[in-house]
Amino acid sequence: MLKNVTVGQIALILTGVIGVIISVAFFILYLSDESFDISLTLLLSILIGSVVLCYIVIKFFLDFFVFKKIKLIYKMIDEGKKGKALKGSGIIENKSISLVNDEVIEWAQNREDEIKYLTNLEDYRRNFVGNISHELKTPIFSLQGYIHTLIEGGLYDEAINIKYLNRAAKNIDRLEAIVEDLEEIDELQSGKVSLKIEVFDVANLVKGIYEDLAFMAEDEEIDLMFHPDAKQHFKVKGDKEKIQQVIVNLVANAIKYGKKGGKVIAGFYDIDDKVLIEIDDDGPGVEEKHLKHLFDRFYRVDEGRARKHGGSGLGLSIVKHIIEAHRQTITVKSQEGEGTTFSFTLDKSK
């Protein structure tokens, strides 16, 4: 009952309590002290006047010393919410104290969340700038070394000229791959890419990818398998070429970073109007501290091993953006020493 009281109601309640105390005191004095010579009508008039005056004084002090300061805070919050200045000063009179309190807490929480978001965004920007500088620095420095060596006479040395030109070409290819991948991420984020949605059999798609990557799996002595529960040939809706790009990336990563003699398992699971696709390996796994960064641009869990296998460092970031462009989600779970599982969903074809 007292939860949603306004300023006026608080003043009225306080006035009532004080009025009752004064009235009781006056009537006790009136009845017990015969020397207290005053008519009952005059006494009631004095009491009513005192109560009215008490209400005016209490409301004035509440307004001036307490709620005037609250109004300034509330006005700032209210204007911030509406995105425009408010007219008039009656911002809080028609609001309950509890409601104002709740809105102030909500506003403070929103500001805290916003600051946290901006801080994380700044950290991400700083890390991204550092990572892209690091990624570009390696091939650029290599190119610089090879070209300067050739200019300074190495071009006429048959022992190194072709070898250095080939190495320079490889670094140019790497720079080109980084730029192309960054452009693809930008297009996916901005919605410039128009998805060609079609119906296709996801199991057949994975089977074809397994055949294409068989040579890579043989080098690492890794078996490419289907989960026993994945025998159903689910029909899904999506951009087949983009989804193929996703699965190729996930399977290739599982082969490259899995354990020698291990296995990669694809699984498909029916979840209402969607199909869950999982790519699972039994490799060394990923530490928990790295999991939340796996989809970040240029993030590498094992820097040395990643360099050995090449790539732009943007594969998983592209994977994430492709899945999000389909309005779906992708997740990763991993246990050190037991392997890693990437899971994403696609709409099921009816």
Quick one: pLDDT at residue 301? Answer: 63
State pLDDT tens for residues 46-90: 777 777 887 787 777 776 666 666 665 666 666 655 554 444 444
C-alpha to C-alpha distance for 120 and 210, rounded to whole angstroms: 38
Name all domains of the chain by residue range, CATH numbers in brackets. Answer: 7-95 (no CATH), 125-190 (1.10.287.130), 197-348 (3.30.565.10)
What is the model's pTM? 0.57
Instruction: Give, in degrees to the nearest 5, the angle at Cα 328 between 327 and 333.
Output: 150
Confidence of residue 304 (pLDDT cuts 50, 70, 90): very low
83-93 pLDDT, tens digit per residue, is 544 444 444 45
Instruction: Tell me the C-alpha distance between 141 and 126, whole Å.
Output: 22
Q: Beta strands 235-239 and 197-201: pairing type?
A: antiparallel
- How far, in Å, CA of 270 to CA of 288, rounded? 28
Res. 154: pLDDT tops 70: yes
Interval 323-334: pLDDT, tens: 988 999 999 998
Q: CA Rg, the chain, in Å?
A: 36
Angle at 138 between CA 135 and CA 140, to 5 degrees: 105
pLDDT value at residue 342: 92
Residues 300-309 have a mean pLDDT of: 53
pLDDT band of residue 183 (cuts 50, 70, 90) is: confident
Contact present, 164 and 146 (Cβ < 8 Å): yes
Would residue 327 be called left, alpha or beta, if left means φ above 0 and alpha means ψ between -120 and 50 degrees?
A: left
- Paired sense of beta strands 274-281 and 235-239, if any: unpaired
